[in-house]
């Protein structure tokens, strides 16, 4: 189980305009900030409802308790003044499969970076860290889905080497 953010070991640290970016495992106390990031666009604003935290807390607890799932946040510590604040997030899940000779795959979900840090390499650094972690855990591929309307995200992932090789489908229950 995770505890408070100060106790979390840094997974990645580097300088950005105005401070230091630090990637670390998420703590339950990060939920409000994570939800703000998830809701900070046209699609997320209609899907997320932070007024009722209980379902998010249950989901966090399930993710946190399962070593096959990793919820990560990025925090920015300004050069001067206030303490760190959560400005990025993603989830990485590890899935066994029979196809591809019984190989494991990683599923990358909910990659978000606060607007003021976009264009500084934060998203690319987070995805590169996730790819390295997937390799470290023996995965043969990393997969993700992104809404068809997120054309900037498509370009971002393509620059990182992802290919739109499959047509994804979803069914809301």
Q: Distance between CA atoms of 24 and 8, rounded to whole angstroms?
A: 6
Higher-scoring residue by pLDDT: 170, 103: 103
Distance of CA 172 to the CA centre of its chain: 22
Q: At 130, list the tokens.
A: 């996730």
Fold of the 5-159 domain: Aminopeptidase (3.40.630)
| Helix (H) or strand (E) run with residue 19 in it | strand 19-25
Section 40-56 average pLDDT:
80
Question: Any idea what the Cα angle at residue 142 is, between residues 65 and 161, rounded to 5°?
Answer: 145
Highest-scoring range by mean pLDDT, 1-10, 123-132, 158-167: 123-132
pTM of the model: 0.89
On the question of pLDDT at 5 being above 80, the answer is no
Nearest to 94 by CA among 138, 57, 39, 158: 138
Tell me how far the alpha carbon of residue 113 is from its chain's centroid: 9
CA-nearest of 76, 79, 164 to 114 is: 76
Number of Cβ within 10 Å of residue 1's Cβ equals 7
Position 2 pLDDT exceeds 50: no
Mean pLDDT for the chain overall: 90
Is residue 44 pLDDT above 80, yes or no?
A: no
How much is the pLDDT for 73?
98
DSSP H helical ranges for the chain:
31-38, 42-47, 54-65, 99-102, 122-136, 151-159
Question: In this predicted structure, what is the pLDDT of residue 45?
Answer: 64
Helix (H, G, I), strand (E, B) or coil at 135: helix
Domain layout of the chain by residue ranges: 5-159
Taken as a whole, the chain contains a residue count of 173
pLDDT digits (tens, 9 = 90+) for 138-157: 999 999 999 888 899 999 99
């Amino acid at each position: 189980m995770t505890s408070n953010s100060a106790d979390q070991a840094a997974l990645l640290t580097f300088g950005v305009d105005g401070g230091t970016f630090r990637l670390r495992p998420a703590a339950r106390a990060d939920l409000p900030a994570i939800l703000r990031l998830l809701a900070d666009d046209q699609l997320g604003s209609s899907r997320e409802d932070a007024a009722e935290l209980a379902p998010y807390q249950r989901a966090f607890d399930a993710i946190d308790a399962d070593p096959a799932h990793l919820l990560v946040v990025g925090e920015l510590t300004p050069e001067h003044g206030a303490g760190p604040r959560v400005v990025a997030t993603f989830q990485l899940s590890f899935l066994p499969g029979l196809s591809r000779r019984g190989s494991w795959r990683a599923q990358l979900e909910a990659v978000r970076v606060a607007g003021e840090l976009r264009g500084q390499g934060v998203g690319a650094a987070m995805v590169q860290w996730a790819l390295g972690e997937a390799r470290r855990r023996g995965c043969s591929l990393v997969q993700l889905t992104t809404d068809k309307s997120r054309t900037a995200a498509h370009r971002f992932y393509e620059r990182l080497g992802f290919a739109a090789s499959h047509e994804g489908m979803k069914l809301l229950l």
